[in-house]
């Protein structure tokens, strides 16, 4: 399936680099060769029809909604409006000329909405834990958010993102990053620092996240279609052996008759 009618700022042709290669468990430098071949031969199965799910979690007012709004609508609102329960956006991409859709779930950080928000974690392909670089206390809750949000998903991609980079000095940013990178590493997550206000790193992070999700989705699709054709081959083999068995039995009967 070829991608059509996708805005130019949603076209991905190159594999995006991580923020810090040492702070990422995802070591690949390019799309998987099988993914590239499948895309160039237009054989990505149902990937273009399926929707992958990304979930953002984190403490109150760390900047989850602002990150989503900067990426999806290129806007920033300095007034705080708490998310009530959950909110979502749908973003369409063209990756290696293949259509890809990501559903982005922005959850509330407030404790009173926790049970509503957590019912949307299930089946997430990507979990993004957001914390505030200018509020070091928000680093302490990263692990708890990651554990909660990944409990009902199978092997999701994991990210830890520090926001409000514009509010901190370089030295303060580095100190907060060092602590958060350690936490991210212990959780098997990739680390990013960014600012929704200035837009710094927002597109690079989002493209990285979407590209890794796409790569994994195409590989899953190729694997499941491979398994399906293996099953078909198996069925043909059984059919063939049945025929052989029938023929042998017939021969035996024929021999008995004579
Ligand atoms: N300076 C600066 N302020 C930011 C940034 N990101 C968010 N903010 C501000 O931080 C406040 C909270 O941002 P939100 O995006 O609403 O936070 P949230 O995590 O979605 O909050 P909840 O919905 O309550 O969980 C708002 O006043 C934003 O304007 C940023 O990168 N830089």
Pairing mode, strands 86-95 and 98-107: antiparallel
Please, what is the end-to-end C-alpha distance for the chain in angstroms? 60
Q: Whose CA is nearest to atom 13 of ligand 1?
A: 63
Residue 77 CA: nearest ligand 1 atom is: 29
Find the 51 Cα to ligand 1 centroid distance in Å.
27
Whether 106 contacts 68, CB under 8 Å? yes
Query: Looking at the chain, how many residues does it have?
Result: 258
ipTM above 0.90? yes
- Give pLDDT tens digits for 173-208: 999 999 999 999 999 999 999 999 999 999 999 999
The predicted structure's pLDDT at residue 211? 97
Cα-to-centroid distance, 5 and ligand 1 (Å): 32
80 lines ligand 1 (CB under 6 A): yes
Nearest to 63 by CA among 228, 205, 243: 205
Bridge partners of residue 251, in order along the sequence: none
- Give CA–CA dist 157/25, Å, rounded: 10
So what's the pLDDT on residue 237?
47
Listing DSSP states for 69-98 in one string gives: HHHHH-----S-----SEEEEEEEEEETTE
Is residue 187 within 6 Å of ligand 1 at its C-beta?
no
Write down all domains in the chain, each with its CATH number in brackets: 39-225+233-257 (3.40.50.300)
Counting atoms of ligand 1 from 1, which one is nearest the CA of 106? 20
Question: How large is the average pLDDT for residues 149-161?
Answer: 96
Instruction: Give the best-scoring range by mean pLDDT among 145-159, 217-231, 239-253.
Output: 145-159
How many CB atoms are located within 10 Å of the residue 188 CB? 14
* CA separation for the pair 233, 239 (Å, rounded): 10
Q: What tens digit of pLDDT does each residue of 16-71 get?
A: 999 999 999 999 999 999 999 999 998 887 777 789 999 999 999 999 999 999 99
| Ligand 1 site, residue 109, Cβ cutoff 6 A | yes
- Using CB atoms within 10 Å of the CB of residue 5, give its burial: 0 to 12 exposed, 13 to 18 middle, 19+ buried: exposed
Q: Whose Cα sits closest to atom 23 in ligand 1?
A: 83
Beta carbon of 70 within 6 Å of any ligand 1 atom: no
108 lines ligand 1 (CB under 6 A): yes
| Helix, strand, coil percentages for the chain (3-state, nearest 5) | 45, 20, 35
Buried b (16+ CB within 10 A) or exposed e, 91-128: bebbbbbbbbebebbbbbbeeebeeebbebbeebbbbb
Q: What are 57's strand-pairing partners?
A: 129
User: Which residues make Cβ contacts (< 8 Å) with residue 144, sequence separation at least 6?
Assistant: none
Measured from the CA of 108, which atom of ligand 1 is nearest? 25
The Å distance, Cα 94 to ligand 1 centre, comes to 29
DSSP state of 18: P
CB of residue 162 inside a 6 A radius of ligand 1: no
Biggest CA pair distance of the chain:
98
CA–centroid distance, 81 to ligand 1, in Å, is 8
């Amino acid at each position: 399936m070829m991608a059509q009618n996708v805005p130019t700022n949603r076209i991905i042709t190159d594999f995006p680099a991580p923020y810090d290669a040492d702070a990422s468990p995802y070591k690949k430098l390019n799309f998987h060769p099988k993914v590239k071949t499948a895309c160039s031969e237009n054989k990505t199965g149902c990937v273009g029809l399926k929707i992958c799910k990304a979930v953002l979690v984190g403490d109150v007012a760390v900047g989850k909604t602002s990150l989503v709004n900067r990426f999806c609508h290129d806007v920033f609102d300095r007034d705080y409006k708490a998310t009530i329960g959950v909110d979502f956006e749908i973003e369409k991409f063209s990756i290696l000329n293949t259509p890809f859709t990501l559903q982005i779930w922005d959850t509330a950080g407030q404790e009173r909405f926790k049970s509503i928000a957590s019912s949307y974690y299930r089946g997430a392909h990507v979990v993004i834990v957001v914390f505030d670089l200018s509020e070091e206390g928000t680093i302490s809750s990263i692990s708890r958010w990651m554990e909660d949000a990944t409990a009902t998903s199978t092997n999701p991609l994991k990210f830890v993102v520090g926001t409000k980079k514009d509010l901190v000095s370089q030295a303060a940013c580095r100190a907060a990053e060092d602590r958060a990178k350690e936490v991210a590493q212990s959780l098997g997550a990739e680390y990013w620092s960014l600012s929704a206000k200035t837009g710094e790193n927002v597109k690079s992070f989002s493209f990285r996240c979407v590209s890794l999700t796409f790569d994994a989705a195409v590989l899953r699709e190729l694997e499941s279609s491979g398994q399906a054709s293996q099953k078909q081959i198996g069925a043909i083999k059984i059919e063939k052996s049945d025929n052989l068995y029938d023929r042998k039995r017939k021969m035996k009967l024929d021999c008995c008759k004579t």
